Amino acid sequence: MNLKKRCFRQIAPALIFSLLTIGAFSVNANIDVRDETLFEAHQRFKTQIINDSFDNTEAPWEAPAEIFNVVKYPTKLGDMYAYLTPPPANKKNKLPAVIWLNGGYGGIGGDDYFWTPQPVENDQTGATFRDPNMVLMIPSFRGENTNPGRYEMFYGELEDLDSAREYLASLPYVDPKRIYIVGHSTGGTRALLASEYSDKFRAIFSLGGIPDLKLRTEGRMMVELPFDKNNEEEFNVRSVYRYIKSIKTPTFYFEGHDYFWDEFNELRVFAMEQDIPLKIYNIKNGDHFNIIVPVSQLIKEKILQDTDTNKESNIRFTNEEIKWINKMVK
């Protein structure tokens, strides 16, 4: 198996579990929290990309027309691929939009995964958000799927993600004030970093992101790091933990208990003390995969009810709803 060409989601969950958990659940990370915002860090620091983590040779496949259109959204580096659900019949209605950030490495191309039915215990397609009452976009980023640029692993992709938001906001049938991010695994980490990089999203949801890339690399990585790992600052500017103070948008984190990083317990306390809009949920009966569908179902319901854009998002998760998630994955 050539891991440089295989997406994370395509490898057996048992193997993924072992790769995720090696060195993952450390305690007392002793990571300094920075006052600098992540956006300011990006203006200050230019990453140096020295390796290609995977082959950038496969464009997204054409999907069934009733499910997705293949589109290109403009970025500073050039146009990049995305899957986008078809426009609604009544384009006068302004719909909320979800950007689904998939897990793994290598983008969204080379197969029919995103429109092929998947098992409910491990459905990473974002299919829950293919709903006539909302718009779904699944973007790929620099260095993926023949897109321009080079893959940067949790850095320049945040700029592309903001460009994807701008593209959605320009569509006549999308409510520009109701654009949300939902991400899983690698996409969950991108979601958390996006909440630190930009305050333009209505709310952000991370399923199974990581708190710090340097901690993650203490275990086995499935792809080669694209940057110089001897430069500590390359890790620092990719750390969710260090830039938690940057979060201004309502942000929600979910992970199954056996995959839960202890650092998120520290971040939960810090967020409460500093009044940072980050809520963290440890799903005691869940794992990295079986939480995706029930959590996504709740998120969709919340988004459809979050209609008053004159106020901050009203999305909250009650204790009863967390109990329901636990019941669904038990």
Q: State the helix-helix crossing angle for 292-305 and 319-329, rounded to 10 degrees.
A: 150
What CA–CA distance (Å, rounded) separates 150 from 141?
9
- Determine the pLDDT at residue 20: 42
Question: Residue 255 in contact with residue 261, Cβ under 8 Å?
Answer: yes
Record: fold of 33-107+123-307: Rossmann fold (3.40.50)
- Report which of 135, 121, 124, 142 is spatially closest to residue 56, judged by C-alpha positions: 142
Stated as kind and residue range, the H or E segment containing 204 is strand 203-207
Dihedral sign from CA coordinates of 164, 170, 171, 177: positive
- Determine the pLDDT at residue 25: 36
- Determine the pLDDT at residue 220: 81
Q: How many CA atoms lie within 13 A of 198 on its CB side?
A: 23
- Determine the pLDDT at residue 16: 40
Question: Residue 210 in contact with residue 239, Cβ under 8 Å?
Answer: no
- For the chain, residues with pLDDT lower than 70 are 1-29
- Determine the pLDDT at residue 10: 40
Question: Residue 59 in contact with residue 81, Cβ under 8 Å?
Answer: yes
What ranges in the chain are assigned the alpha helix state H? 13-21, 38-44, 157-170, 186-197, 213-216, 232-236, 263-274, 292-305, 319-329
- Determine the pLDDT at residue 15: 35
Coil, helix or strand at residue 179: strand
- Determine the pLDDT at residue 6: 32
The per-residue pLDDT for range 185-197, each reduced to its tens digit, is 999 999 999 999 9
Pairing verdict, β 78-84 and 135-139: antiparallel
Q: What are phi and psi of 227, to 5 degrees?
A: -110, 175
Pairing verdict, β 174-184 and 95-101: parallel
The single-letter DSSP state of residue 244 is G
The per-residue pLDDT for range 198-255, each reduced to its tens digit, is 999 999 999 999 999 999 998 888 899 999 999 999 999 999 999 999 999 999 999 9
- Determine the pLDDT at residue 243: 98
Q: What percent of the chain has pLDDT over 70?
A: 91
What CA–CA distance (Å, rounded) separates 203 from 104?
23
Spans of all domains in the chain: 33-107+123-307
Question: Residue 298 in contact with residue 256, Cβ under 8 Å?
Answer: no
Pairing verdict, β 95-101 and 135-139: parallel
pTM of the model: 0.92
DSSP one-letter string for 51-102: --SS----PPPPPPTTT-EEEEEEETTEEEEEEEPPPPS-TTS-EEEEEEE-
- Determine the pLDDT at residue 121: 97
